Chains A and B, each alone.
Chain A
């Protein structure tokens, strides 16, 4: 449809939005640290995808002779188990590599589900207004009344552990965040001239929301989603740490840290290395998303 291109507010049209997007991507690329972090994130993703190729051992293969074997550089360690072995003699490095899958899969799935729901709900609340807005905003208020982790813990207690349940437990509250962003942006955008032009030309509400408004408010949503991904990964690890997440023997970073708790007196490596992996990934996502935010949403940069 050509209404948008003919509208007087050039800067806000979808066509112009793409070129702004390109310029923003250039700004992002100029930020060296953010770029390095983005590369680290990509490496983690590749590691998750290629886990069977990269991991030296089967993550669940136990070897009681290697019980709590120290890392390679310590006395008693060997390079075939570079980061040592856990209490069941499983290779910690391989388990960390496989654990990447859980963290990234759950993080991405939760953000994807939550962002989709959040965008739809936010657009509906912000564009349709009226009782739709009241209903959605009330629900958002109520969900915001729960501390995040406690809400997730309550749900996990109810639903029982498991991969799908974790995703649901986190997404039930997570969608509120993109929803609020989208609603706020939509309330502003719906009044812009090109949207009014589309309305005057008889475009359907669905068309206006998804094709006219959505492309223009996507930047802040993407920025928020990437920042939230880091939170979700920590939350999943926390649930797994408490034993409410992915169930053994599936390797998950949080559960691995929990496994090592019993051995902190002598075998520090069991808890330490999975935690380093969480920290690295979360830090990389945080720095990269800050770079994205500075490039896309200069309102927030200092």
Chain B
């Protein structure tokens, strides 16, 4: 793919991102409750001071002006002040982001590592016991409510068997000096295998819960596309060449069958974002998702606004990556 085409595609994202920010802005502008009143709370403040706060926050300006200010600031990473924390929103979000990223990455890796082999084997042994199990499993996977599944896992592994911790990212004894803020990575970089094991024990249940729907979907996509590919002429031709079955499956079929899987995976990574809110709430995971849910209840709207925008931009970018991956993997499609 040429650079100009890539840039062209990127430019096509601009209206979408603009539209997304308009919607986020409207969402929050229409939110009932005056932010100044929320900030003041029980404090005794003069009308003069209140008017000053209003001016500081730019709330006295007309709507379109406020949107432009919001957009200008957002582009620079300035999302205002978190009422609740009395600190810049961007700072609070940056603190919570690594936990969410780590959880999402582990969930993604787990999902890919189980769904692709499962889908492939189910396809090449169609109607076998394993295929049926994979089919039933993926149906269950998309039908299980994540919050409930997480609680079941907690009850079984944390409460009943007491094998795994109930909540949090790491035990306080295992805390380590951060480098990347991804605990699994940092503990290895610091050579603290005990901390790594501890972090792994904390992350496993949330990651399984978060990754389950994606695993289910990807298993199904891989199986279907593998079945489709195995019926194509080029597989017949590869067999007619006298290649080994292994080579036919892994070199000729898989490479083509994974094209839809990879782009669905990129799109589904976006849906992990929404799942984060649920999973982090269930497992007391100190990430962005839980922060957003908590912020709604304390009416900390600048933070909710920033997070929704951040999620949406990430989501749009993931879809964009899905598109690009599809073209890169598929030499037939020319951009």
Contacts and interface: CB of A to CB of B under 8 A. Distances in A.
When A and B assemble into the complex, do they touch directly, with CB atoms less than 8 Å apart? yes
Contacts of B30: 158
Most buried by B among A154, A156, A258, A279: A154
A145 B20 contact: yes
Interface residues of B, number: 50
Contact of A279 (B27, B145, B312, B315): B145
Nearest to A240: B147
Nearest to A280: B143
A167 to B, nearest CB: 17
Contacts of B28: 158
Nearest to A274: B148
A242 B315 contact: no
B281 A242 contact: yes
A230 interface: yes
B229 interface: no
Contacts of A230: 142-143
Nearest to B299: A157
A157 B151 contact: no
A160 interface: yes
A254 B278 CA distance: 11
A260 B155 CA distance: 11
Contacts of A150: 273-274, 277, 308, 311-312
A224 interface: no
A258 B140 CA distance: 21
B224 interface: yes
A237 interface: yes
Interface string B145-175: 1111101101100010000000000000000
Interface string B3-20: 000000000000111011
A156 B293 CA distance: 11
B143 A282 contact: yes
B151 A271 contact: yes
B32 interface: yes
Contacts of A287: 139
A242 B155 contact: no
B296 A153 contact: yes
Given A150-B273, A271-B151, A142 B315 contact: no
A264 B16 contact: no
Contacts of A283: 139-140, 143
A145 B148 contact: no
A63 interface: no
A257 B20 contact: no
Given A157-B31, A271-B151, A279 B296 contact: no
A265 B147 contact: no
A21 interface: no
A146 B311 contact: yes
A257 B282 CA distance: 11
A138 B19 contact: yes
A157 B270 CA distance: 21
Contacts of B281: 241-242
Interface string A211-226: 0000000000000000
B24 interface: yes
A294 to B, nearest CB: 13
A60 to B, nearest CB: 22
Interface of A: 138-139, 141-151, 153-158, 160, 230, 234, 237-238, 241-244, 254, 257-258, 260-261, 264-265, 268, 271-272, 274-275, 278-279, 282-283, 286-287, 290, 302
**Lowest 8 CB-CB distances: which A-B pairs, in order?**
A149-B274, A275-B148, A142-B19, A283-B143, A147-B274, A158-B31, A282-B143, A157-B296
21 contacts: A138-B15, A141-B15, A145-B16, A145-B312, A146-B311, A147-B270, A148-B271, A149-B274, A150-B311, A157-B301, A158-B28, A242-B281, A258-B147, A260-B151, A264-B151, A264-B154, A264-B155, A275-B149, A275-B152, A279-B140, A302-B227
Given A146-B312, A147-B311, 12 more contacts: A138-B15, A142-B23, A148-B271, A150-B274, A153-B308, A156-B296, A254-B147, A264-B151, A278-B145, A278-B148, A283-B140, A302-B227
